[in-house]
Structure 1
Amino acid sequence: MAVIRPHDLLWGLTPRHLPADAPAWVAAALADGQPVVVRRDAAAPGQVAVGVRGSRREQRYATHMPVATISRQVSPEALCHRTGQANWPALQALYRLRPCLDELGWVWGVSGSAGFELASGFGALHADSDLDLIMRTPQPVPRDDARRVLALLEDRVDMQLQTPAGAVALREWAGNSAKVLLKAADGARLVSDPWSLPA
């Protein structure tokens, strides 16, 4: 099995793994065979933090999944060149951006609702959905380079830079603020360098 990272989609969690007080819609989603998405949160050994999504935007449920139960894993970068069954605006934006992002030579992927729908076939997008993208950035990205990437993106496209320390919004890193919000497994904090673990 590949390394499990935030935004990966996992199959194998079933209703019997849920706490007794889990909402009924969570069990229904899992019974339908939907995947869960890996969250950026602490987990006990042998467990991974995941989220279950329902049919409504407010239906999001955080839980943990035994690693031993994972039957399938799909990463955001495995979805870059998939085609959706519906022609939502978010997917149209993805198709337009593909050649530009590929030319950058960096590893990028599709997350959020678009990634969920492309990977699973379960409907998650609607006409007003944004397109969420990630870019793997193990090495620091100069802010000028971030601004060039941002210039490629359309209004309703958001990209997160995945650094060794956590994730930061491309839009923030391309800005002029001295500090940006870094999302890590132990919480979010303002940092000046998203590629260095905060002291």
Structure 2
Amino acid sequence: MVSRFLAHDLLWGMTPRQLPVDAPAWAVKSIGAGQPVVVRRAESAAGQVAVGVRGRLREQRYGMSMAIAAVTRRVSPEALCHVDIHRDLPALEALAQLRPALDACAWVWGVSGSAGFELASGFAALHEASDLDLILRTPQPLARDQARELVALLDAAPCVVDMQLQTPFGAVALREWAGSSPRVLLKKATGACLVVDPWNPQEQAA
């Protein structure tokens, strides 16, 4: 059993019976259909992991906790880089276009969001206007010039592509790190804060 989960991991094992009594009907339906839940970047009690349930609509997101002992399967974003599904959609076309360049970079990358959900589960989550959400594991600092080069690469794709840099201390949007502002928003399990260096959380804005 995996004892440590990362944000954007997809987990199976949740049942409708495990949902809180006040869970919305759409969440009960999603879990009843066998859909996975996605790990959230949030604190949770011992033996629990913070997760979210996805519905068919963008606004249908339900946050809760799941018992780690109930997890039967885990799929990480980086396990989805080379999974193919045959649907003619801009997000999937963008993924195929970007894959060679991302494979050639020095970092581990992965697919999250609607594309990751569909690639992992087989449940349709993408549509014509869907963005492509990616993550980049950056245990070491990524230079801002490199970030700008990555943004230029993503902007050549056939749909909007968003990428999160996953630092050891939280996540920051690639586009924000590639920008001119000296401070960027670092998302951590305890909340979000402005920092000058996402790889050094002690260097926080006042």
TM-score by length of 1: 0.97
Aligned residues: 199
AA in 2 matched with 1:181? L
Consecutive unaligned residues in structure 1, runs of 5 or more: none
Shift of 1:105: 2.5
Partner of 2:112: 111
Shift of 1:106: 1.1
In the aligned structure 2, how far is the partner of 1:36 from the partner of 1:77? 17
Structure 1 residues 115-134: aligned runs within 5 Å: 115-134=116-135
Aligned residue among 156, 174, 193 for 2:197: 193
Shift of 1:150: 1.4
In the aligned structure 1, how far is the partner of 2:161 from the partner of 2:31? 29
Structure 1 residues 153-192: aligned runs within 5 Å: 153-154=154-155, 156-192=160-196
Identity %: 65
In the aligned structure 1, how far is the partner of 2:106 from the partner of 2:83? 18
Query: Does residue 142 of the first structure (1) align with residue 138 of the second (2)?
Result: no
Shift of 1:85: 3.2
| Aligned-residue RMSD, C-alpha | 1.0
Deviations 1:147-174 (A, max 9, x none): 1111110260000000011000000001
TM-score by length of 2: 0.94
Consecutive unaligned residues in structure 2, runs of 5 or more: none
In the aligned structure 2, how far is the partner of 1:43 from the partner of 1:85? 37
**Greater mean alpha carbon deviation, residues 88-97 or residues 152-161:** 152-161
SS at match of 1:190: strand
Partner of 1:39: 40
Deviations 1:81-133 (A, max 9, x none): 11123121101000000001111121000000000000000010010000000
Shift of 1:11: 0.2
Partner of 1:68: 69
AA in 2 matched with 1:14? T
